[in-house]
Amino acid sequence: MAFVIGVSAVLAVGLLYPSITNMAAFGQGSVQLSVKLVGSDFKWINSASGETNPTLMLKANTPQTIQIQNPTQAMHQLVIDFNGKQVATSGDIAAGSSGQLSFTPNQVGTFGYHCLYHPTTMKGIIQVQ
């Protein structure tokens, strides 16, 4: 079974925007995540719901963009994996900046996402239908 994801990562260093999450559930659109320090651990946050390390619901064969706000003092990098293999990355997102990851999942299934630098506390699931 062939698996291909088109990826383009764009970083906009030094930009800070309010983190309003649009889950783009089952359609083309944008998902917005923010990084937050919770206690001594970093987490991905859905600002609309406040959910920590949210499950993202996306549609197969539909372009998706995940916008990332990093108001913390640490570097982060969003990585998407499928069956243990990296399929997309945002590249490094410096402290106090933002970035994005654009990709088109070409099959239904469960993907994972995590931060390259904080993989045990910044992780979640992407359900593609």
pLDDT confidence band for 28 (50 / 70 / 90): low
pLDDT confidence of residue 29? 64
Record the pTM.
0.78
Torsion angle of C-alpha atoms 107, 109, 115, 119, degrees rounded to 10: -140
Alpha helices in 1-129 (DSSP H): none
pLDDT confidence of residue 24? 40
Please give the backbone phi and psi of residue 97, each rounded to the nearest 5 degrees, phi first.
Answer: -135, -170
Report, as an integer, the average pLDDT of 41-62.
92
Mean residue pLDDT across the chain: 81
What strands lie across the sheet with 56-58, from one edge to the other? 56-58, 123-128, 109-115, 78-82, 85-89
Q: 7-128 sits in which CATH class?
A: mainly beta
Angle, CA of 46, 75 and 92, to the nearest 5°: 90
Does residue 22 have a pLDDT over 70? Answer: no
Longest dimension (CA), the chain: 42
pLDDT confidence of residue 49? 82
pLDDT confidence of residue 14? 25
Helices and strands, counts by H and E, the chain: 0, 10
Angle, CA of 23, 29 and 31, to the nearest 5°: 35
pLDDT tens-digit series, residues 76-119: 999 999 999 999 999 999 999 999 999 999 999 999 999 999 99
